Chains A and B, each alone.
Chain A
Amino acid sequence: MNAQPYFLEHIWLIPLFPLATAAVMLFYGRRLSNQIVSWLCSGSVFLSFIFSVGAFFQLIAKPSGERIATKVLFEWIPAVTYHLLDGRIAKFIAEWGFQIDPLSCVMILIVTGVGFLIHIYSTGYMAHEGGYYRFFGYLNLFMFSMLMLVLANNLLVLFVGWEGVGTCSYLLIGFYFHKKSASDAGKKAFIVNRVGDAGFLLGIFLTSALLGTVRFVEIGPALAAGGFAIGDPRITAIALLFFVGATGKSAQIPLYVWLPDAMEGPTPVSALIHAATMVTAGVYMVARSSAIFDRAPMAMTVVAIIGTLTALFAATIGIAQTDIKKVLAYSTVSQLGYMFMACGVGAFSAGIFHLMTHAFFKGLLFLAAGSVIHGVGGEQDMRKMGGLRQYMPVTFATMGIGTLAIAGIPPLAGFWSKDEILWKAFNAGWVYWLIGVMTALITSFYMFRLMYMTFGGEYRGGPAVPDAKHESADAPALHDKRGHDGHGHGEPHESSWVMLGPLVVLAILSFVGGLVGIGGRFEHFLAPVFQGTAAAELAYQTAGEAASHTTEYLLMGVSVSVAFLGWLLAYLLYSRRPELPARIAHSLGGLYEAVVHKYYIDELYAALFVKPLIDGSTTILWHGVDQGVIDAAVNDTASAANHVSDAARHMQSGNLRSYAGWIAAGGAAVIAYMVWMGVR
């Protein structure tokens, strides 16, 4: 424990750097020039990245079994002795503690690495926007929260980060707060996340009540000491509650509805928070709690089913979207579904592997989409794009790599991780695999559809009227006049190298990022984290050993050919015969309508939850309780006093003789009383 190498001893600095600059931005940012803001904010994230890399190298220098370092800064909630639910006495303690192990290490590398690139990109993307310092302040605050989340050594500190990223997500989705749709989307994200967070919080309570600890390293031993059998309903309850939290944060059925709306935020935010990092927090949390999930096979099945269904469901919605960011949003939901599918079948490291490659290629895709939107002057509708290949060659090339990666074309990153998941899923049950492959087909189709609609064919945007363009989400009214208009948006144009640089780096990562998984190296690196979580994974792994390598290569072949099939379909429909999709859509009629309207899920939730809630609040709470009881009590007291006083007021007429009369009447009354009672 003591005398850790430098970077492992100082992991607590990693979240601190962005916090410091966030504080500077939010308190003094207004007085700083944009250039200073850019340097400070990107610099702090870069420092975190350096420290993360240092920590990574010092971590792998250790022998495989000892790759964990803990650093407790101070005691947060002092020790309390209390009885557990089964009567044992436990000491509850929550400390402000950090922990780094292979899982955390992968996460901080992703968060700081991709985060740094997105910061660089943002300095170009947001250059002409108002509230520059505010944007970077929130972004750094997000980095702090996210790093707290992944570096926490106990559930409570994780929860602090969990809520922190939720808050920053809210602030950044609603960054263009003067737009009603943006502020509504922010509120929707926040409220939907609250539902999940409530479940997560209950799960934490139940954990401390059952196991007597919230520290990750102690959960496994506590489970053993408590003698909980596999499938114990109490452990299943914890796991399910945790998963409720994960569905909220990671946008799974039934709480995924906020993520597509979250695209109202600036595109770098979508890339960083709603694709690469925050939405994967749920996957991370499930993986981090693998000790609990492994003892709850039923909860695991639920995770796998929800993940699989979400993957397919969201992918089908993605087919019919015309907003370039919405397509990517549904794609994100779908890919997160893959990760949960992996976790649900016990392949946590495959899930984390996909999390990593997804962070690369989805971050890339979003940034490239941002570059496209920037290039065409704020337009997000793919029907008004097209032919951008000649105008924006670098964006086209990098986005193409991202598309190949997500579609699962070897040897790009997405192929390795997706194949890993599908292989593990096949061992758990062929249904998972089948749906996974269908999803892969659809994914490949809608991604190449996006590419053909955006970059192929002729430019359909026409000479832009700058003002009309600025009604879409990414062209805020706050920016100054030299902003997007100044480029003269008659023609689409390539973005500056500040924005293209991160695209290129991410494209390289998307290309080679999957190679770390070859030969199970990534899995072995993560293995100590998931070790000792006896049941599920081992069972699946032995099943996996049993299946022959021929099967594995066969399945690999199927998923690759499915990816190419999706590409071919998209090529036929959107490049060769662009008039065909409309006709197909027409012939499908109601089904197509349902997909375009996202299966009317938003409408369903509005009718099921939102409307009753608003109506109930309006009639019962507002008109009934607030106006009827509370306001009425106050107002009635006041008006009663008013009436009594009004009667008494008329005694003071100002007429001398009436005063004299009152005195006489009063005197007479006193005397009458004394006579009546008998004078004493």
Chain B
Amino acid sequence: MVPVDHYLWLSLALFTIGVIGVLTRRNVIIILMSIELILNAVNINLVAFSHMFGSVDGQVFAIFIITDAAAEAAVGLGIILAFFRNRETLLADEMDMLKW
């Protein structure tokens, strides 16, 4: 049986890659993909602990998060599409209208 900390290391690696992706990439689609990575890192965590404690609660939550991620991807891509039509850009640096 794979010990639980292996799952956690994998999850940590995925999470870190996701965060770095969000912070460093300029393309909003890549940022959206990085967010998916972060969500999946969380899913791995949940499933790993669910397995460890022999309870299905964590897996139920993981299913919810997958649903949520799908909805979020759909909405996010919709926003990006609308934005692109408006501003002809996908670069996050140029989306700076949300300031004081």
Residues of chain A having any CB pair with chain B under 8 Å: 649, 652-657, 659-661, 664
Contact = CB atoms under 8 A, between A and B. Distances in A.
A674 to B, nearest CB: 16
Contact of B97 (A654, A659, A661): A654
B92 to A, nearest CB: 5
Contact of B98 (A654, A661, A664): A654
13 contacts: A652-B99, A652-B100, A653-B96, A653-B99, A654-B97, A654-B98, A654-B100, A655-B93, A656-B98, A657-B92, A657-B93, A660-B22, A660-B23
User: Which one of A649, A653, A660 has the highest number of Cβ atoms from chain B below 10 Å of its Cβ?
Assistant: A660
Interface string B64-100: 0000000000000000000000000000110111111
Contacts of B99: 652-654
A451 B16 CA distance: 111
A660 B34 CA distance: 12
A138 B77 CA distance: 82
Contacts of A654: 96-100
Given A654-B98, A664-B19, 14 more contacts: A652-B99, A653-B99, A654-B97, A655-B92, A655-B96, A656-B28, A656-B96, A656-B98, A657-B31, A657-B92, A657-B93, A659-B98, A660-B23, A664-B23
Contacts of B19: 664
Chain A facing B: main interface SS: helix
A660 B92 CA distance: 11
A654 B99 CA distance: 4
Contacts, number: 34
Contacts of A652: 99-100
A656 B97 contact: no
A656 B95 contact: yes
Contacts of A660: 22-23, 31
Top 4 A-B pairs, shortest CB-CB distance:
A654-B99, A654-B96, A656-B92, A660-B22
Contacts of A655: 92-93, 96
Given A656-B92, A657-B92, A649 B100 contact: yes
A561 B81 CA distance: 119
A661 B21 CA distance: 11
Contacts of B93: 655, 657
A633 B17 CA distance: 51
Contacts of A653: 96, 99
B98 to A, nearest CB: 5
Contacts of A664: 19, 22-23
